[in-house]
Amino acid sequence: MDNPVSTKGASDGAAITAPRLVLMTAAPVGGVWNYALELCRGLSSHGVQIALATMGQPLSPGQRREVADEGNITLYESDYRLEWMDNAWADVEKSGRWLLALEAELKPDLVHLNGYVHASLPWQSPCLVVAHSCVLSWWQAVRGEQVPQCLDDYKLRVAKGLAAADLVAAPSSAMLECIRRLYLPLPNAQVVYNARGRTRFRPGRKEDFILSVGRVWDEAKNIGALVRNAYDLPWPVYVAGEINHPDGGGVVMDGVNRLGFLAPESLAPWYAAAAIYVLPARYEPFGLTVLEAALSGCALVLGDIPSLRELWDGAALFVHPESATELQRELRALCADRNKQASLRERALERSRSFSAARMTKGYLALYSQLCNGAGNSAHGCALAAEDKGSTAAVSPKE
C-alpha cells in the first residue's frame, strides 16, 4: 500500500509553488462537495483562487451560501449529468465542451478534476484527477459480483481519462489500489487524505443515542443495516442524510428518528451530542462523516472494510457489513459499557487529529507544485525523475 504524499512538498526541502488559479470540478452531491469546499478554504490562505465548476444537480440555497462565504471561489454552475449516472454520456460530452470553454476563457494554471472521463479532453493546462470512488469498485464491494458488461463503456472511458491525466491522487491507499487493480497501474499516483476543519466539529455533552449520517439510498453506506436493527437496540437511533436517489426512488426508514438532509452547521450539534456513531459501510473510499463524528468525540462503530481499517484501525469497533447479528450484538454491548465508550471516544478524537485541513492543503499544494513544474504522468508533463517516482515520505494516520 502507498504512503500518503509528504506535506512538506514534492520532496524534502523542495519549494512549493502555489498556483494563481485552479479550475476545479465538483458535484453538490455527497462528500465530494464538503471535500472541495474544505480544500478551497485551505488554499485561500495561500492566495489560490478557485473557479469551481459544478455538475450533477443545482446547488441548494445552503450550498450557495457556503460558496458565497469563501472569498476565493468563483462559481460556474451547471446541472449536466455526472459520468456515474444513468444515461449520462450525452451530458458528459456537453459538459466537456463547457469545461474547455471555461479553461480557454479563464486560463487557469491547472485543472483539478474530481472525476475521470473529462481528463481525456485536450486541456491546455496540467490536469490532476482525484479518484474519490468509482462505479466498478462500488459494484464489486456492494454487489459482491463481477461487473456486468453494460459497464464496459464506463470502464473504457474512465481508463482513458486516467491515462490522460498528468497526475492521479486518491483519498486512501485502499481506493488507489482499487483504481490500479481495475483500470491502470498508475505508478506515480499518490495519496492525500481528506480532512475536515476542527472549528466546526467539536465534542459536546454526550447523550444516550446512536447517530448515522450519509446517503441513505446508497447501498454502499449500508445505513439500512442499522435501520433494520433499530427496534432491538436499547438507545434511540437518529439518521441524517438524503433519502431519495438522484435518479428517482427512495427508502423506507421505520424505527429511527429521521433528521433528513442537514447542512454541516446543522449536523454539528448532533455529532457533538451523539455518544455513538455508526456506519456499517460496504464501500467507503474515505468517509468524511466518520471523520466529522471522530472530531466530535463519538465512539465509532464501522464496517470492516480495507479503507476504514486503514484510517481507523485501533480507534473504532469494526463489524462485518453483512452481519446484522454482529452489528446488533456490538451495539447492545457498547450501549451498556460506559468505560468502553469513553475509551473509543478518546481514541477516535486522537486519530482525527491526523486528518487536519492544513495537512490536506499542504498535500495538494505539493501535487499542484509538481504539475506546475512539469512533473506529471502523461504527455502534458515530463515523467518524474527516478528518485521521485511513487509516493514520498511515509505519513501514517496512526502516527
Domain shared by 215 and 323, yes or no: yes
Q: Which domain holds residue 211?
A: 207-352
Those residues with Cβ within 8 angstroms of residue 84's Cβ, 6 or more apart along the chain or in another chain: 134, 135, 154
Domain shared by 36 and 182, yes or no: yes
Domain shared by 246 and 313, yes or no: yes
Domain shared by 290 and 153, yes or no: no
The band of 323, judged by pLDDT with boundaries at 50, 70 and 90, is very high
Predicted pLDDT of residue 374: 82
Predicted pLDDT of residue 246: 66
Domain shared by 128 and 214, yes or no: no
Domain shared by 235 and 183, yes or no: no
Predicted pLDDT of residue 249: 66
Sheet of 274-279, strands arranged across: 257-260, 237-240, 207-213, 274-279, 299-303, 317-319
Domain shared by 334 and 367, yes or no: no
Angstrom distance (rounded) from CA 83 to CA 172 = 22
Those residues with Cβ within 8 angstroms of residue 105's Cβ, 6 or more apart along the chain or in another chain: none
User: Picking from 25-29, 331-335, 384-388, which range would have the lowest pLDDT averaged per residue?
Assistant: 384-388
Amino acid in the structure at residue 102: L
Domain shared by 91 and 141, yes or no: yes
Angstrom distance (rounded) from CA 187 to CA 389 = 7
pLDDT, tens digit (0-9, with 9 covering 90-100), for 75-108: 999 999 999 999 999 999 999 999 999 999 999 9
* Residue 5 lies inside a defined structural domain of this protein: no
Beta bridge partners, 274, equal 207
Domain shared by 117 and 97, yes or no: yes
* Residue 7 lies inside a defined structural domain of this protein: no
Domain shared by 362 and 288, yes or no: no
Cell readout for 94 is 456537453
* Residue 201 lies inside a defined structural domain of this protein: no
**What is the CATH classification number for the domain harbouring 291?**
3.40.50.2000
* Residue 226 lies inside a defined structural domain of this protein: yes
User: Picking from 230-239, 265-274, 301-310, 367-376, which range would have the lowest pLDDT averaged per residue?
Assistant: 367-376
Predicted pLDDT of residue 110: 98
Angstrom distance (rounded) from CA 178 to CA 175 = 5
Question: Quick one: average pLDDT of 301-325?
Answer: 97
pLDDT, tens digit (0-9, with 9 covering 90-100), for 174-200: 999 999 999 999 999 999 999 998 899
Predicted pLDDT of residue 206: 98
* Residue 381 lies inside a defined structural domain of this protein: yes
Angstrom distance (rounded) from CA 131 to CA 117 = 11
Beta bridge partners, 130, equal 169
Closest CA to 136 of 179, 171, 169: 179
Domain shared by 28 and 86, yes or no: yes
Domain shared by 63 and 181, yes or no: yes
Number of domains into which the chain is organized: 2
* Residue 10 lies inside a defined structural domain of this protein: no
Question: Quick one: average pLDDT of 385-389?
Answer: 30
* Residue 202 lies inside a defined structural domain of this protein: no
The band of 30, judged by pLDDT with boundaries at 50, 70 and 90, is confident
